[in-house]
Structure 1
Amino acid sequence: MSAAEPPRDRATRKADTLAKLAGPAADAWVATAAGDQPYLVPLTLAWLRERIVLATEGRSRTARAITATGTARLGLGGTRDVVMIDAVLESAVATGEAPEWVADGYAERADWDPRTAGDGYVFLVLRPDRVQAWREANEISGRTLMRDGRWLE
């Protein structure tokens, strides 16, 4: 898309965002911070029941920061077609103790099953609180699609 093309309306941006989230093996940059130590890591996500499910080692810096602060910021796509999500932690559960919808759903969407990776992995279930999407500068206005956990009309 070039800046000369008209901006997408909110409904189109939401549909594009949901398609990105629901795609197989959707990858995101996950930003966390603990104290004054920011951290950024790429992780595969699964979009299940309007939640973002991540899998990582429980002792990883990412898992520790998310469980300590209860928040994360995720970025999907390139800089000219980006989705930014501020999310809050709903639950962190060892892979062997996860509900079926989380464990099986993640394995199906992410193209790998962390339950087979040995002990120590956790699922982090995140609820989106704010979602923004834009492509070029002409889409900066109206980029917020969700606020306070509710999709905007």
Structure 2
Amino acid sequence: MTEPDPARSREQRKQDVLNRLRRDEDAWVATASPDGVPTLVPLSFLWDGDTGTLVMSTRRTNPTAVNLTSGGPIRITAGPTRDVVLIEGEARLVEGTDLPAATGDAFSAKLRWDPRNSSSWVFLHITPHTVRTWREVNELADRDLMLDGTWLV
């Protein structure tokens, strides 16, 4: 069994998280119904570094959107199992016509599709409250990078 790489500093892990959010296109999104029925789906995303939010889109009738209309929390995971980024936050539904044009244009350019013109789709505007990241057990102790919406580094 090989030894894990040395633990990264919190500063390095924050930079790695921000790089992943800018570069990656897809993440796993978890919500739950008011009855506690979980839903886990992959969705494409845009990281809006100016506002520190994630933007995703899904059909308004999909369980993910329906769960959020009832005020449920949201969890997002990005990266492979040996380089986890776990984000917990709150999401609000935004109609395509209400999405700022610059955000919609950036979403469309990054992901090569534009759901703004269909009434079947809504956007999820996600504000992170907690961000955790780790690769191996040696990074678990300092995995919290954001708490209560504030970066710790």
Question: What's the TM-score once normalised by structure 1's chain length?
Answer: 0.91
Q: Deviations over 1:34-65 (max 9, x none)?
A: 12200100000100121010101111100111
Cα deviation, 1:50-99, whole Å, max 9, x if unaligned, reads 1010101111100111221242000001110010000112x322213322
C-alpha distance in 2, partners of 1:126/1:29? 13
Alignment correspondent of 1:99: 100
In 2 relative to 1, CA 150–74 (structure 1 residues): closer, same or farther, beyond 3 Å?
Answer: same
The two structures, once aligned, show a CA RMSD in angstroms of: 1.5
1:73-152 aligned within 5 A: 73-89=75-91, 91-116=92-117, 118-152=118-152
Given that 2:32 and 2:72 are in contact with CA atoms closer than 8 Å, whether structure 1 keeps it comes out as no
Structure 2 gap segments, 5+ residues each = none
Runs of 4 or more, structure 1, over 6 Å off, are none
Shift of 1:131: 0.1
CA distance 1:3–1:52, change in 2 (3 Å): farther
Instruction: List runs of 5+ in structure 1 lacking aligned partners.
Output: none
Residue-by-residue CA offset, 1:86-133 (whole Å, 9 max, x unaligned) = 0112x32221332213311211222221125x3211111010000000
What SS is found at the alignment partner of 1:119?
coil
2:30 maps to 1:28: no
Mapping of residues 56-75 of structure 1, within 5 Å? 56-75=58-77
CA contact (8 A) 1:94 1:120 kept: no
Report if the CA contact (8 A) 1:10-1:145 is conserved: yes
Partner Cα separation in structure 2 for residue 105 and residue 67 of structure 1 = 25
Given that residues 31 and 72 in structure 2 are in contact (C-alpha distance below 8 angstroms), is that contact kept between their aligned partners in structure 1? no
Q: Percent identity?
A: 40
TM-score w.r.t. length of structure 2:
0.91
Number of matched residues? Answer: 149
